[in-house]
Amino acid sequence: MKSLALLALILAAAGCGESGNDLGASYDLSVLGSGFGADDGRVLYFAVTRTDTGTIVATDTTTVRAGGFELSFSSLLDQGVTYEADYYVDVNGNGRCDAPPTDHVWREAVPAAQSNATLQVSGATGYDGSACTAF
């Protein structure tokens, strides 16, 4: 019985209890894009970077369809940490990110997560060539 109580204490200290999300929790990030009609059929490149370290923590690609796209990243966001989402469409087809207006390039802030998050982005917002640094 003592060993069972000790195991419960160890699990609780490690954050494995039933009390919900503790510090160090990770959350999902969903990205919903709309207003990308000018880029229909083109590949969109996406990267997520921790702002505190500058480390790219995730990348993905998708094809813009019907003016939009969706991406999902499981257990990506650390609690209390901010991120930047950088994404671009390789309009000129040269295989790399070029500053606007050559390519369509965006950057969005991802606020510190306290739960699973959804980032809604729009192709109608202004371009940000500094986002090319993630690629």
Render pLDDT for 70-127 as a digit per residue (tens, 0 to 9): 999 999 999 999 999 999 999 999 999 999 999 999 999 999 999 999 999 999 879 9
> What's the average model confidence in pLDDT over 45-58?
97
Mean pLDDT check: name the lowest of 8-22, 36-50, 71-85: 8-22
Q: What's the pLDDT at 134? A: 95
Instruction: Map out the domains of the chain with their CATH numbers.
Output: 23-134 (2.60.40.10)
Residue 119, number of CB atoms within 10 A of its CB:
18
**Is the model's pLDDT at 18 over the cut of 60?**
no
Q: What's the pLDDT at 23? A: 58
Alpha-carbon span 48 to 38, nearest angstrom: 23
**Is the model's pLDDT at 15 over the cut of 90?**
no
